[in-house]
Amino acid sequence: MSRLRAQDRLKAALQGYYAGLTAPVAWCSSVGPAEILYALGFHVYFPENHGALLGASRTATPNILRAQREGYGEEVCSYLTADIGAYLAGETPLTGAYGLASVPKPDLIVYCTNQCHEVAEWFGFYAREFQCPCVGVHPPRYVDEVSESAIAHVVRQFEDVIAAGERVTGARLDRKRLAEVVDLSRRGAELWKQTLETARSTPAPLTFWDSTILMAPIVTMRGTQACVDFYRETLEELRQLAGAGTAAVPDEEVRLYWEGMPIWGRLRKLSDWFAECRAAVVASTYCNSWVFDCLEADRPLASMAEACTRIFINRSEDAKLRILRELLADYRIDGVVYHDARTCGNNTNCRFGLPRRLQEATGIPFLTLHGDLNDLRFFSEGQTRTRLETFAERLRPRGGPPAHREEGFPSPNQIRAR
Ligand code: SF4
C-alpha cells in the first residue's frame, strides 16, 4: 500500500481514462484547449503525459537515441524525442500499465504554443504521420499582464479549433456543454490548488514528489467529473493528514521550492535524498502550472484564453519574479532548487539571472541542479547528491526557523547591508 490512499486510487482513475480513449480522439498539448475538444465529443489524449510516462518508466533514453537517428538534435525537448522514438519503435508504457496495444490514433491534433515552439514540431510530425488535421493556437508570448486584446486574439484562434473539430465530428459545438466542461475544469483545478496548499502546513503532509504523481488527473482528465471526484477525496485525505500533523518527510527541518521540470527517471531517488537531508520540497512551479483559477463557465472561451495565456511558462521574467515571490512567502520557503533541464530551456528559469534577482528580493538562497526531464545522460547522481547535502546543511536552522519565515521578507536594502 502507498503512503497516500490517493496514490492507490490513482491507478483506477487512470485505468478508466485510458479505457475511454476510443474514437473520436483528439490529441492536445498539456495546456491547450482540451475543454473545447471534450465539448465537441472527442476523447482527449496528451502526448506530453506520454513523454513523462516514458521518463518515469525509465524507457526514455533508448527512444531518445532512436529519434536522434532520425535527425532530431541532442538538445531538442526529450519529451518530444522520447515520444517520437517510442512511436517509431512501436513501443509504449501504456501497454504494460493500462493494456493499450498502442497510443490511440488521432482524428484531430491541437496544440498551443503558450509553452514552447517545440509542440508545433512534435505535433506536426504526427499530423504528417497520421494524415490528420492539425490546428495550432499561438497566444502572445512572454506576457507581463494578460490584456483584453491578447484574450480576444486567442479566442479567435479557438474558433478555428472549433471549426476544425466540427468538420471532423460533423456536428456543431454544443455551447452549453462547453460551459459545463469549463466549470468541471475550474472545479478540478480549484481542488488541485487546495490539495497543493495542504503543504503550507508545517510539517507538510505531501511533497513535490507526491504531487508529480498525483497531478496525472489534472493533466489528462481536467474537464471531467472523474477528475473532480479524484481531487475531492485526495483533498480530504491530505487535510486529515495535515490536521493530524503527519509529515511527508519525518523530522522536516527545511522547506524547499522546486523550480523547473521534474527529473522523471529519478523521482524516487531524489525523494529519498531530500528526505535524508530532512528537506521537504513543499511547492513547485511545475505542479502549480495546472491551477487555472480564472476559468469561468459564463465566459468559457474568454476565460480559457486567459488561463492559457497567463500560465507561468508564458510570462515575462518580471511576472515570474512576482509569482515566485508570492509562492515563497505562502509556503514559508527556506531555499529554492532550480532544475536546469538541458533539453527544455522553455521551462528552465535560471539562465537569465532570475535566481539572483529573487534572492535579492527575498533573502532566500538557491541551488541550481543540472539534469533533464527525460535524458538521464545529462544527470550526474554523485554531483547532485553532494550539492544537495551541502545546500541543506547550509539552510538547516540553528536555534529556530530562518528569520524570513517569521518576519516576512527583508527589504533589498537590508539584504545588501548583510
Ligand atoms: S515546455 Fe519543455 S518539456 Fe514541455 S514540450 Fe516544451 S520543450 Fe518539451
pLDDT in tens, the chain (418 residues): 678 999 999 999 999 999 999 999 999 999 999 999 999 999 999 999 999 999 999 999 999 999 999 999 999 999 999 999 999 999 999 999 999 999 999 999 999 999 999 999 999 999 999 999 999 999 999 999 999 999 999 999 999 999 999 999 999 999 999 999 999 999 999 999 999 999 999 999 999 999 999 999 999 999 999 999 999 999 999 999 999 999 999 999 999 999 999 999 999 999 999 999 999 999 999 999 999 999 999 999 999 999 999 999 999 999 999 999 999 999 999 999 999 999 999 999 999 999 999 999 999 999 999 999 999 999 999 999 999 999 999 998 765 555 455 445 554 444 434 3
Question: Do the domain assignments include residue 205?
Answer: no
3-state secondary structure (DSSP) of residue 276: helix
Question: Do the domain assignments include residue 185?
Answer: no
Question: Do the domain assignments include residue 65?
Answer: yes
pLDDT value, residue 417: 42
Whether 35 and 157 map to the same domain: the answer is yes
* Pocket of ligand 1 contains residue 118 by CB under 6 Å: yes
CA-nearest residue for atom 2, ligand 1, is: 344
Question: And the C-alpha cell for 95?
Answer: 501497454
Q: How many domains does the chain have?
A: 2
Whether 170 and 279 map to the same domain: the answer is no
- Residue 260 vs residues 263, 283, 312, 399, 409: alpha-carbon distances, Å: 9, 11, 11, 31, 23
CATH of the domain at 291: 3.40.50.11900
What backbone torsions phi and psi does residue 257 show, to the nearest 5 degrees?
-115, 135
* Pocket of ligand 1 contains residue 77 by CB under 6 Å: yes
pLDDT value, residue 398: 62
Whether 268 and 362 map to the same domain: the answer is yes
Count CA within 13 A, CB hemisphere, residue 179: 6
Host domain of residue 320:
245-414
Question: Do the domain assignments include residue 72?
Answer: yes
Q: Which 8-state DSSP code applies to residue 206?
A: -
Ligand 1 centroid to residue 99 C-alpha, Å: 27
Whether 45 and 129 map to the same domain: the answer is yes
Out of 174, 193, 219, a domain closes at 174
Out of 119, 144, 174, a domain closes at 174
What residue has cell string 547591508?
417
Whether 18 and 111 map to the same domain: the answer is yes
What residue has cell string 495550432?
136
Q: What is the DSSP string of 350-371?
A: SSSSHHHHHHHHH---EEEEEE
Q: Report how far apart the first and last C-alpha atoms of the chain are (Å, whole number).
A: 49
Question: Do the domain assignments include residue 183?
Answer: no
State the Cα–Cα distance between residues 211 and 76, nearest whole angstrom.
26
Atom of ligand 1 nearest to the CA of 373: 3
CA-nearest residue for atom 8, ligand 1, is: 77
Whether 162 and 276 map to the same domain: the answer is no
Ligand 1 centroid to residue 86 C-alpha, Å: 17
State the Cα–Cα distance between residues 374 and 261, nearest whole angstrom.
10
Mutate to test the pocket of ligand 1, among 347, 373, 375, 378 (most ligand atoms within 8 A of CB): 347
pLDDT value, residue 397: 73
Ligand 1 centroid to residue 344 C-alpha, Å: 6
Whether 117 and 249 map to the same domain: the answer is no
State the Cα–Cα distance between residues 24 and 21, nearest whole angstrom.
8
Ligand 1 centroid to residue 346 C-alpha, Å: 6
User: Residue 90 contacts by C-beta under 8 Å, 6 or more apart in sequence?
Assistant: 102
Atom of ligand 1 nearest to the CA of 343: 7
For residues 108 and 24, the answer to whether their CB atoms sit within 8 Å is yes
CATH of the domain at 45: 3.40.50.11890
Question: And the C-alpha cell for 147?
Answer: 490584456
State the Cα–Cα distance between residues 102 and 257, nearest whole angstrom.
36
| Triad 276, 282, 284: Cα angle to 5° | 120
Mutate to test the pocket of ligand 1, among 27, 29, 79 (most ligand atoms within 8 A of CB): 79
Atom of ligand 1 nearest to the CA of 344: 2
Q: Which 8-state DSSP code applies to residue 104?
A: P
| Triad 80, 82, 84: Cα angle to 5° | 65
For residues 274 and 249, the answer to whether their CB atoms sit within 8 Å is yes
Mutate to test the pocket of ligand 1, among 54, 72, 119 (most ligand atoms within 8 A of CB): 119
pLDDT value, residue 400: 55
Question: Do the domain assignments include residue 182?
Answer: no
Whether 42 and 148 map to the same domain: the answer is yes
Question: Do the domain assignments include residue 99?
Answer: yes
Whether 298 and 160 map to the same domain: the answer is no
Whether 159 and 260 map to the same domain: the answer is no
Question: Do the domain assignments include residue 42?
Answer: yes
For residues 107 and 42, the answer to whether their CB atoms sit within 8 Å is yes
Out of 174, 193, 212, a domain closes at 174
Whether 282 and 400 map to the same domain: the answer is yes
Whether 272 and 392 map to the same domain: the answer is yes
Closest CA to 108 of 81, 80, 136, 86: 136
Question: And the C-alpha cell for 55?
Answer: 521518463
Ligand 1 centroid to residue 187 C-alpha, Å: 26
pLDDT value, residue 416: 39
CA quadruple 409, 414, 416, 418: dihedral sign: negative
* Pocket of ligand 1 contains residue 220 by CB under 6 Å: no
Ligand 1 centroid to residue 398 C-alpha, Å: 40
* Pocket of ligand 1 contains residue 204 by CB under 6 Å: no
CA-nearest residue for atom 6, ligand 1, is: 116
Q: What is the DSSP string of 116-181?
A: -SHHHHHHHHHHHHHT--EEEE-PPSSBSS--HHHHHHHHHHHHHHHHHHHHHHSS---HHHHHHH
Ligand 1 centroid to residue 115 C-alpha, Å: 7
